[in-house]
């Protein structure tokens, strides 16, 4: 199987080998940790861009970057990315 990766092949193969030695629970925990890291990074980026925003607005702005259907945010929370932005 060919993997399209920006990493050098030796690094990519070491990562794959490490993943193969992990239990499903360890792989799941790693995925959860990475997801939390990305989510926290997005929240911090929004906080830095909108320092006066309250927590609800910060979370909506971060969610608007992930949610593929902007109508969902508009219908559920009244957040229109065309008006309020990301």
Specify the pLDDT at position 2.
Answer: 56
- Rounded to whole angstroms, the Cα distance separating 4 from 43 reads 29
- Rounded to whole angstroms, the Cα distance separating 38 from 83 reads 25
Q: Tens of pLDDT along 27-74?
A: 999 999 999 999 999 999 999 999 999 999 999 999 998 888 888 889
Considering the entire predicted model, what is its pTM? 0.72
Domain locations in the chain as residue ranges: 33-86
> What value does the mean pLDDT take over residues 1-28?
85
CB-CB contact of 66 with 46 (8 Å): no
């Amino acid at each position: 199987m060919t993997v399209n990766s920006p990493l050098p092949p030796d690094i990519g193969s070491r990562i794959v080998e490490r993943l193969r030695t992990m239990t499903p629970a360890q792989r799941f925990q790693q995925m959860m940790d990475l997801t939390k890291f990305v989510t926290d990074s997005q929240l911090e980026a929004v906080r830095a861009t909108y320092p006066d925003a309250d927590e609800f607005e910060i979370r909506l702005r971060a969610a608007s970057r992930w949610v593929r259907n902007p109508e969902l945010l508009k219908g559920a929370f009244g957040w229109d990315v065309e008006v309020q932005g990301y």
